[in-house]
Amino acid sequence: MAKNLKATQEDKCNGCELCILESQRQLKKVGLEESLIRIFKGESENSYKVEIDPRVSVLDIEKIKSICPKEVFEITEND
């Protein structure tokens, strides 16, 4: 079964971008360009939007999930 990373607790995101930087490190790079996860400032005060490219599933998503200090992510399984 394929595993997917989902931002099920997006409202808890604090914008630290550790998930972006972790996913980039797994691709052996440091930066924001072509990241498989992107964080945007949300419309309401102090809120953020998390956008995940499905290709992130080729990475170690357990590690991405665990680096988030606010437990924003869950890993789901598809048949």
Partner 1 sequence: MIDTKAKKILSIDLSRKQSETKSFADLNTFIGGIGLGLKLYETYKEENPLIFSIGPLNGYFPFVSKTCVLVNNDGVIEDIYIGGGLSLRMRFAGIDALVIYGRSEGETVLEIQNSQVNFLPLQEKINDLGLPGKKSILTFENDKIILDGYFTTPEDFLEQNLKERKVGGIVITGTEIFKPENFLEYEKIYNEILSRSEEMSVERGNYPSCSNCPMGCGKSKVGEIGGNVLIHSLVGCQFADKIYTDIGIVFSCLNVLGYEYTHEDIENLPGLIEKTLKNLS
User: H or E element: which one contains 19?
Assistant: helix 18-26
Nearest to partner 1 of 32, 58 (CB atom): 32
Q: Which residues pair with 2 in a beta bridge?
A: 78
Nearest to partner 1 of 27, 76 (CB atom): 27
Nearest to partner 1 of 62, 76 (CB atom): 62
Residues 6+ apart with CB under 8 A from 44: none
Binding site for partner 1 (CB under 8 A): 12, 14-18, 21, 25, 28-35, 38-41, 45-46, 48, 51, 67, 69-70
